[in-house]
Amino acid sequence: MAFDSFSAFLAMDGHGPYVWTCYAVFFLLMGVMTWWSLRQRRAVIAQQRRRMAPTPSADERPAAASFTRIESSQD
């Protein structure tokens, strides 16, 4: 054990803030990375499931273009 007390451990002879900031940021960023990766995965699974759900218009044939003008009154 390199420290006499818990408070000495926290203070680290005045270097505490530097050391603890580093560790906090390290765990924070690794945590965010993990959380983000898990969320991405869930999103992809949900998206795949949505894609697999049968679409109402099973007949995917594209409608023939008619190029008829759309009448809209402009008052």
Partner 1 sequence: MSEPLLQAVNLQCERDDRILFRDLSVSILPGTLTRVEGPNGSGKTTLLRILAGLNDSYSGDMLWRGRPRHTYREEFLRNMLYLGHRPGIKPLLTPMENLRTLMAGRRYVTDKVLWQALEGTGLGGFQNVPSRNLSAGQQRRVALARLLVADEPLWILDEIFTAIDIHGVAALERLLVERVASGGAIVVTTHHDFNLPSMHRVTLGGRHDHGL
Partner 2 sequence: MWQIFHKLGSPKWFFGIASTLMPWLLVAGAALLMTGIVWGLVFAPQDYLQGNSYRIIFIHVPSAFLAQSVYIMMAVAALVTLVWRMKLADVFVTAVAPVGAVLTFLALFTGAVWGKPTWGTWWIWDARLTSMLILLFLYFGVMALGAAISDEKSSARAVAVLVLVGVVNIPIIKYSVEWWNTLHQPATFKLTEKPSMPAEMWVPLLLSVLGLYLIFGWLACLRMQTHILAREGRTRWVKELVQAREN
The footprint of partner 2 (CB under 8 A) covers: 1-3, 9, 12-16, 18-19, 21-23, 25-26, 29-30, 33-34, 37-38, 40-41, 44-45, 47-49, 51-52
Q: Does residue 3 contact residue 9 with C-beta atoms inside 8 Å?
A: yes
Binding mask 28-67 toward partner 1 (x if CB under 8 A, else -) reads ---------------------------x----xxx-----
CB of 60 to partner 2, least distance (A): 15
Cα–Cα distance measured from residue 13 to residue 24, given in angstroms and rounded to the nearest whole number: 18
At 74, phi and psi to the nearest 5?
Answer: -125, 70
CB hemisphere CA count around 75 (13 angstroms) = 1
